[in-house]
Each structure stands twice: as C-alpha cells, then as structure tokens.
Chains A and B, each alone.
Chain A
Amino acid sequence: MTKPLLDVEDLRVRFHLRTGTVEAVRGVTFQLGRERLGIVGESGSGKSQTGRAILGLTPPPGEVTAKRLAFDGIDLLTASKRTLRTLRGGRISMVMQDPKYSLNPVMTIGEQIIEAYQAHAKASRGEARDKALAMLEAVKMRDPARVFSLYPHEVSGGMGQRAMIAMMLVTDPDLLIADEPTSALDVTVSMEVLRILDELVTERGMGLIFISHDLKLVSSFCDRVLVMYAGRVVEELEAKNLREAKHPYTQGLMRCLPTLADDVRPLPTLNRDPAWAL
C-alpha cells in the first residue's frame, strides 16, 4: 500500500443531547488505500456515523474530533466549506442505504445525476446528459434513456440503488463510501449491485468503504474488515480470515448466524461482555 487515500486517526463523534452526551464513535483509527474496506458491527455501533463524519455530514448536535482525518493529504477537519464541497461528491462519494429515501422524490433520476455532475464539472447540459446516460449504462441499467426520465418512485429498489450509485460515481470519485447499499434489496438483486461496485474498484482503482452488518457478505466481498462495537473498532482483520477472528464479539457474530451448512440448535448467542465497550 502506497500513500493512503484516507487516513483516520482517533475519530470521535459525540452528540450532546439533553439527556447527556452520546459518544457514537469513539476513537476510530484506520487507513485506506485503493481497496475494499468493510466495516461491520451491529445496529448502532457507529458504522454510519463513521462514514458520515468522513464526509463532514454529521447531523447538527453532533461534534466531530480526530487526531487526523485526511483525504489524499487534505485535512478534512480544517478544510474550508468550499474545499469540502468540491471534495464531497467530487472525489469522495457515498452511496446511501435506502434508495427509497435518498433520492429526491420530485426530481427525475436523470436530473439528479446531471446535477451531481454539474456541481463538479464545467459541462453543458448536453454533455452532462450524455455523461449521465453513460453512467446509467455503466451500472447495467437496461434502458438508460427511459430510466433517465423516471422519477424515483417509478423504479424498483434495485434500479434505484443502481441509479444512486450512478449518481455518486458520475464524478469519478477516488473514494466511495457505501453505507449498507444492499440491505434494502433482494438477495439476487443485491448480488448484481455488488458486482458493479466490485468492478469499479478493480477497474477504476477506487477506494471503497463498505458498511454492512452482514458478516457473510463482507467477508466474501471485501479485502479488509473493521469490526465495530459501541463506537470502537474492536478488531481489524483480513476479510478472508474472518472465520479466525480473535475478538469474542466477532466470533460471536459469526457463530450466531444459522447456516445451511450445519444445523446448530440452539444457535449460540452473544454474551456481551461490558469490557468490550470500554
């Protein structure tokens, strides 16, 4: 791995609420090259907040601190709003969990892609349109011209998710954060989506952060995996070695899934050790 694309050290996200302070992310540290990095963990463990903090999109009461948060040498914490804006969508993109909610319901898919493109590239509408169509084609949309003029509610979940990916990739970013991009999809459809992402990483040399709670999926798709628990990274390991995880949490997560392979009964469950959260 040469110079890392993304360098995160001791990232913390806090929410100051009436009832006290919630530390959603507590000292996450990792580096990312042009590879597939998976982040797994149960619900509420801080996966999404980590991803959003990188993009500077932590929602209002939240506060982000880090020893280091740099993208391609640019310090994201001190960068001006302007710089951030050009980075966002331009060089770093994020595919969000649910296409049903993350596409603007009153704009056509084409418009939204064009908008993303024009926000970063000086292009005429015609050029932007061609680019958008090409992008839709790239994500294996069957009839790009038709999808272009459809509204989000007129497409299925799988198509929506692909449109979302097209929108986020139209600017040819160096880093893509995919936050549970397949959890709303059918198994069969989600495989197609993953295939597209995979191609992009291998063919464009993009960095990918793949957030998911599906260990099986992450281990089969990613190169490296961060396992999060209560806002911390409890374990970092090669994806293919997930079976050999050392941390009891990771082990537990792996084991408690029923599999077709063997019939364990009762299924082992997680016995949370308070010490994990410390």
Chain B
Amino acid sequence: MNGGGGHVGALRSFLKKVVQFVIVLATTLLGLVAVTFFIGRVVPIDPVIAIVGDRAPAHVYERTRQELGLDRPLIEQFVIYVKKAATGDFGNSVLTTNPVMTDIINVFPATLELATLGTIIGVIVGIPLGVLAAVKRGSLLDQFVRVLGLVGYSVPIFWLGLMGLLLFYAKLGWVAGPGRIDVTYSYLYTPVTGIVLLDTAMQGQWDAFWDAVSHVLLPACLLGYFSLAYISRMTRSFMLNELAQEYVIAARVKGLSEMRVIWRHALRNAAVPLITVIALSYANLLEGSVLTETVFAWPGLGQYITNSLQNADMNAVLGGTLVIGTVFVLLNLVSDLLYRLLDPRTR
C-alpha cells in the first residue's frame, strides 16, 4: 500500500540501500583489516625467521626485515597495507611465495566444494528432520532428532573424522581415503574451477569424477552432519513457533491436507528465519573446518590460514581472513535479500 512515490521513490530507496550496504561492507572490512593487522603484529612470532630460517646470518635477516617493511612504524605499515589491499593485492605469501590472492583462489574451491556439499546435506536432511520433530513434538522421533543433534554438537570433529576413515575407508572400503582425488586420476583433468567434481564432470572424465565423489563423500557427510545438527534444531524451534500460529489453524479450517499445511504454510514461514541460520552455518563451513581439512588432507582455506598463522605468514592470514570476512558479509547480504524475497513484510 505504498502510496505516491512510484518508481522514483523506489529507485531512490534502492540506491540508498546499495550505498548503505557498500558503507557497511567497507567499514566491516576495514575493521577486519585493522583487527587482523594489529593482532598480526603483536603475535610474538618473527615473520623474518619464517622466511630466512633459523640459521641465516644477521645481514640476511636484516635485509629481509627491511624488504618486508617491518622496520617502519606500525601505522605506516598499516596504511601501506590497506592501500594495497584496496587493489586486491595482499602481498605474497611467505610460505608458498605466491600472491596471497592466487593462493586463496587455489585453496578456496576445495573449501567451497566441501562446505557446499555439507550444507546441502545439512539442509536436505536437517530441515525434514526438524519439521518432523516439531510436528511430532515429544514423540520418539522428536527425541531421536534431539539426541542426534546433540551428538552432532558434542563430538569432537577430528575424532569422528578419523573414526569415519577407519571404518568406512580402512575397514569397509566404501569410500576413498584422505585427499581430493586419487593420483591415478589427478592428471586426467585440468583444473578450471578448482572444484574437482565440476572440473571432472565438465571434462567428461567420469572415472575421475566418481573417484572424486568417493573422496568427498565422507568429509562432506561429516560436515553435513554438523550442519544438520544445527539446522534441524533451529528448524524444529522455528516450526514449533509457526505451528502455534493462527494462520495454521486457518489453513486447516480451509480443509487443506496436513501435508500442505505443514510444508506449504508453516515451513514456508519458518523458511524466513531459517535462511539466516543456513547462511550462518554455511559461512561457518566456508571458514574452513581446519580440523576436518587436516584429517582428510583437504587442501582448503582452513588449513591454509591455520598453517600460515603458525608460520607467521601474516600476509596470508590477513588475506585469508579478509576473504572470509567478505564472504561472511556477502552471505549476510544474500540471506538478507532472500529474507526480503521470502518475507513480503520486509519488502
């Protein structure tokens, strides 16, 4: 019932939103940079040693220090960093010697692949479980879902990961072991997207594809389980909320089937806050589960950042963190947009 205004008003408010978003993104990122940067500088690890090694003579050490600009005042270093970062240049990684951006482009697809599959599993399984638990509140099924979720919350991921490997890979041989693809196949395709499943499929290397599937299955299920635990819980609670609403009764009054009432009416409404939950859980998975990646020898972002941090490779840490921050903010935006799309009240 928006009166007057018309297109001009809508356009202006849209532009305002865009400007607002850009400001939010910029300040958040700047804040991220600042926090990471200064944390990076207080870490009592000498990045120079990380490069020149333990036994380098003093002059090599000193020269490298200057090359890295570490002899300048902190503020100056920060300004230089921000200036460069604004152009997408996060410097070079000490560990891999590549530009950090290149590295991240290399490792991110691995994490993306895993996180996406994990989230898909979490959504496909978690939502129906949550819905059923809510519909049959207090039933055996509800308790089962609750315990399943709680177990997901409680078990150390590396433990579950290794146990999974031991059982499904070593003992049963149902899935392939750690890594993304067998060496036999690893040179049969050329990485284009960096997502092995996509690359192999696009290039018609079906043997390689299935091998990659069997590699990704276990870690994806593991992450999927954790995301399922969270999603099913939240779904249940949102659904309980919706099922208590009057419009659900109204839908029943209309003579709709219970299926339709639950899945079309209640879930459709529960989906609105669920979007945020799913986005959040996806973002968390995208952050890269260091532990999962370690256990499954998955060369992803989590391992990259952790490894860089441990080796005082601050450029890489900063870059990685910024990428994650950006992903986070973008996901927030997307979930916001979806929210708007799903909930007419916020349009």
Contact = CB atoms under 8 A, between A and B. Distances in A.
Q: Does chain A touch chain B in the assembled complex, meaning CB atoms less than 8 Å apart?
A: yes
A209 B182 CA distance: 72
B249 A90 contact: no
Given A85-B255, A105-B269, A150-B1, A96 B345 contact: no
A141 interface: no
Contacts of A233: none
Interface in A45-96: 52, 55, 57, 85-90, 93-94, 96
B254 A88 contact: yes
Contacts of A155: 1
Contact of B246 (A85, A89, A101): A101
A96 B255 contact: no
Interface stretch (A113-121, A188-196, A219-227): A113-121
A103 interface: yes
A103 B251 CA distance: 8
Interface in A98-120: 98, 101-108, 115-116, 119-120
Given A104-B268, A155-B1, A89 B247 contact: no
A154 B269 CA distance: 17
Q: Which interface residue of A86, A102, A168 has the most chain B CB atoms within 10 A?
A: A102
A106 B253 contact: no
B252 A104 contact: no
A153 B344 contact: yes
Given A98-B246, A102-B247, A55 B345 contact: no
From B246, B272, B343, residue with most partner A Cβ within 10 Å:
B246
Contacts of A55: 252-253
Contacts of A154: 1, 344
A30 interface: no
Contacts of B256: 85, 89, 115-116, 119
B85 interface: no
Given A104-B247, A106-B269, A151-B345, A116 B1 contact: no
B124 interface: no
B243 to A, nearest CB: 10
Contact of B255 (A101, A104, A108, A119): A119
A57 B252 contact: yes
Interface string B323-347: 0000000000000000000111100
B343 A89 contact: no
Given A57-B249, A96-B246, A155-B1, A106 B254 contact: no
B1 A106 contact: no
B255 A105 contact: no
Contacts of A153: 344-345
B245 interface: yes
Interface in B229-253: 245-247, 249-253
B257 interface: yes
11 contacts: A88-B252, A89-B256, A96-B253, A101-B246, A115-B256, A116-B254, A116-B255, A119-B256, A119-B257, A167-B250, A167-B254
Given A107-B268, A116-B256, 8 more contacts: A88-B253, A90-B255, A96-B250, A102-B250, A104-B265, A105-B344, A115-B254, A115-B256
Interface of B: 1, 245-247, 249-257, 265, 268-269, 272, 342-345
